[in-house]
Homo-oligomer: A and B are copies of this chain.
Amino acid sequence: MQKQRARTAPAVKTPAGKAPARKRRRLQRAEREQMIVKGAIRFFAEHGFKGQTRELARRLGITQPLLYRYFPNKNALIERVYEEVFVARWNPEWETWIADRTQPLHARLVRFYQDYTRNILNYEWIRLFLFSGLEGLEINRRYLRFMRDRIWSKVIAEIRFENGRPSLEEEPASETEIELVWAVIASIFYIGVRRWVFGLPVPEDLDAIIEDKVKGFLEGAPAAMAAPAKSANAPRVRPRDL
């Protein structure tokens, strides 16, 4: 709670020719909005969500209050950024591809992983995802849950099917299985972290890397999954502090 000082109408009077008077460019509402969102995505990916609205406006070449004509507050703009990057870029066909049993599993997975990689392996996605994770934001958890429910479970189901093992309804996914499926994306994600967080050089031919990973995955995973999970049900401890 903070006391609201009674706002006395300030009676603005332009001091007749003083400020540099920026040339005012008038855009269609939808067009300007899109421009703001696009700029905000880049801006927040660079500076995190604590980046300042004034600085964002400056980079967009507009005044800061204009942002508030398009979004009620800063948080609404941030929400929109998430929507645009994590939700709108989600390809619903991924689930279809993975489950399409007219194709060999290897081909399905390579197709999915390659397309998914194109989706997330860019400056904006990687950094925004990290920022949202570091702040413990709900969007981040939601995305990870979604990924697990929609993608990983399907991948596991298909591998089980391929190897004549029980369905997920009969036997829920083990930690080992989830772990193995995670590992593929993890290594791809980490390429992005190295590139856009640590500024390190990264390998060139992503498609080839993904094909390698999927190959290794399909060679090793089924056996590991079928095994009675030597450490899968072992207690999970915390390495150190907390």
Cβ contacts A110-125/B at 8 Å (1 or 0 each): 0000000110011110
Is B134 in contact with A199, judged by CB distance below 8 angstroms?
A: no
Cβ contacts A99-138/B at 8 Å (1 or 0 each): 0000000000000000001100111100100110110100
Is A122 in contact with B234, judged by CB distance below 8 angstroms?
A: no
Q: Is A222 an interface residue (CB 8 A)?
A: no
Inter-chain CA distance A204–B144, complex, in Å, is: 21
CB-contact partner of A121 in B141, B200, B240, under 8 A? B240
Cβ contacts A195-214/B at 8 Å (1 or 0 each): 10111111111101000000
Q: Which of A12-20, A64-72, A153-161, A186-194 contacts B (4 or more CB under 8 A)?
A: A186-194
Is B186 in contact with A201, judged by CB distance below 8 angstroms?
A: no
Q: Is A239 an interface residue (CB 8 A)?
A: yes
Q: Could you say which interface size class chain A belongs to? A: 35 or more
Is B197 in contact with A118, judged by CB distance below 8 angstroms?
A: no
CB-contact partner of A123 in B117, B197, B241, under 8 A? B241
Q: Is A39 an interface residue (CB 8 A)?
A: no
Q: Which residues of A contact B (CB under 8 A)?
A: 48, 50, 117-118, 121-124, 127, 130-131, 133-134, 136, 140-141, 144, 175, 179, 182, 186-187, 189-190, 192-195, 197-206, 208, 231, 234-242
What 7 A-B pairs come out closest when comparing CB atoms? A133-B197, A121-B239, A122-B240, A204-B236, A50-B50, A122-B241, A133-B198
